[in-house]
Amino acid sequence: MPQPSSRPMTLPEWAMLMALASVWGGSFFFNGVAVRELPVFTVVVSRVVLAALILLTILRLKAGRLPGDRRVWAAFFGMGLLNNAIPFSLIVWGQQHIASGLASILNASTPLFTVVFAHFLTVDEKMTGGRLAGVALGCAGVAVMIGLDALHAPGTGVMAQLMCLAGAVSYALAGIFGRRFRVMGVSPLASAAGQVVASSVLLVPLMLAIDRPWTLAPPSLAAIGALIGVAGFSTALAYVLYFRILATAGSTNLLLVTFLIPLGAIIPGALFLGESLLPKHLAGMALVGLGLAAIDGRPWRALR
């Protein structure tokens, strides 16, 4: 069944998109707090395991259950890898070295990659002239943000930005991969729970082998609160919204959320973490925003 990705989103879909942007924007702030005390895989595993427990509890209270079909579980593991394990780890690693606001801006490039991948991997989200222009503008914005340092002096900061971009690529592939849950008839709540359970299974052994959490100092209340926030709001609640929007509005419409996310990351990062952005980051964000407007097409139609 083709996705309704080319039609304008309804008001309820826009409301869900704004809510998703708020809770996902908070994830960059929560990560920024937690990563000051805890290593990467400990932060990521805490996020997915707590989210899995929350979602499984909600599923049980609603008298639902996870599917037993092997094909569905293979899809859960694929989604858990692309939408959780890879991007969470890359972005949290990047946030050890760059501001949470910058990480969220780089994450806003996700729809640019989605448009390109969707052209080759789907039958109903093909490239158009407007989308191609949007991708070009967005890529220019990413280049402006990273700057010329990547060409002659690639240091830790540049690598951190590239890791966040790689996370955006993984999110883009996940947005396309996740379309199959609608066809399989898996509910948004079961899809959300299944993928975080699968990603927990993938990540726990890595955390035990690499971070050796039993050797770490006890985290502060702030770090514990950040882990609860990123698991409960920015993962459990976020993925229920994510799969519901994906099922009705399509992957390209859904991933417009990434341009709204920086607002939820930059403000708390500046207020509570003492972070700041350079002019090139804001200029790059503006170009990415123009690119997303060109991809979406509706601002130009409204002007006409």
Q: Provide the greatest CA pair distance for the chain.
A: 62
For residue 297, give the amino acid letter: G
pLDDT, mean over the chain = 85
Query: Which of 8-12, 191-195, 268-272 is predicted least confidently?
Result: 8-12
58 φ/ψ angles, rounded to the nearest 5 degrees:
-65, -40
> Measured between alpha carbons, how far is 279 from 93 in angstroms, rounded to an integer?
24
Query: Which of 239-243, 251-255, 299-303 is predicted least confidently?
Result: 299-303
Q: What is the CA radius of gyration of the chain?
A: 19
Per-residue pLDDT at 247? 78
Q: How many helices (H) and strands (E) does the chain have?
A: 17, 0
Q: Which two tokens stand for residue 267?
A: 């403000």
Q: Quick one: pLDDT band at residue 251, thresholds 50, 70, 90?
A: low
Per-residue pLDDT at 299? 61
Which residues in 86-113 are b (16+ Cβ under 10 Å) and which e?
bbbbbbbbbbbbbbbbbbbbbbbbbbbb
| Position 95 pLDDT exceeds 60 | yes
| Position 69 pLDDT exceeds 80 | yes
24, 264 contact by CB (below 8 A): yes
| Position 98 pLDDT exceeds 50 | yes
Share of the chain above pLDDT 90, in %: 41
> Measured between alpha carbons, how far is 296 from 300 in angstroms, rounded to an integer?
9
How distant, in Å, are the alpha carbons of 186, 193, 247 from that of 169?
25, 22, 21
106, 268 contact by CB (below 8 A): no
Per-residue pLDDT at 150? 53
Per-residue pLDDT at 154? 58
Mean local confidence (pLDDT), 99-115: 84
Q: What is the pLDDT of residues 144-162, one digit of tens each?
A: 877 665 555 556 788 898 9
Q: What is the pLDDT of residues 189-223, one digit of tens each?
A: 899 999 999 999 999 999 999 999 999 999 999 99
Q: Which two tokens stand for residue 204?
A: 């726990």
Per-residue pLDDT at 1? 40
Q: What is the pLDDT of residues 14-42, one digit of tens each?
A: 888 888 888 988 999 999 999 999 999 99
Q: Quick one: pLDDT band at residue 142, thresholds 50, 70, 90?
A: confident
Q: Which of 101, 159, 134 is nearest to 287 (CA)?
A: 134
| DSSP assigned state of 185 | T
